[in-house]
């Protein structure tokens, strides 16, 4: 039980760190290539508040992915997180479409990674050879 909780915590923390790292890297690369960006206080406040939301979504996603019993369940949980993340940023697309697309794209990518890894967790029926009792291999 403790091992499972630790795995959920590591998965949630890695999602948050990966999202932060990707956003900072992409933002810095854009700033180096294009130059200064427009400072918008409402966008900065939304970005600040989104850190809390993304942390909650990453935690929920980690718990869901570690607790699900099927691929479909894992995909549904990841899609629910990605939908909430996109809806949170829907209002910012009108004023800053590129930065909003960057944040939403990175968030959905990072939230989808555990569901993609989930595909490797479940084997297709018949693909794994199961030894049968009484038959020597």
Of 70, 69, 58, 55, give the one whose Cα is nearest residue 114: 58
Please report, for residues 36, 63, 108, the alpha-carbon distance to residue 46 in angstroms, rounded to integers and kept in the order given.
20, 25, 17
Residue 56 has pLDDT above 60, yes or no: yes
- Assign 85 a pLDDT band (cuts: 50, 70, 90): very high
Q: How far is CA 132 from CA 15, 58, 127, 135, 137, in A?
A: 41, 41, 15, 6, 9
- Output the pLDDT for position 126: 54
């Amino acid at each position: 039980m403790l091992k499972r909780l630790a795995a959920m915590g590591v998965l949630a923390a890695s999602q948050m760190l990966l999202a932060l790292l990707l956003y900072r890297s992409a933002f810095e690369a854009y700033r180096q290539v294009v130059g200064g960006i427009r400072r918008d206080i409402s966008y900065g406040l939304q970005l600040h508040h989104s850190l809390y939301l993304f942390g909650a979504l990453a935690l929920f996603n980690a718990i869901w992915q570690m607790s699900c019993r099927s691929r479909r369940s894992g995909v549904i949980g990841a899609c629910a997180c990605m939908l909430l993340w996109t809806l949170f940023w829907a209002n910012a697309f009108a004023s800053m479409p590129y930065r909003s697309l960057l944040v939403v794209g990175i968030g959905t990518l990072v939230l989808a990674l555990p569901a993609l890894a989930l595909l490797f967790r479940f084997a297709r029926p018949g693909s794994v050879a199961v030894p049968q009792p009484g038959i020597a291999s």
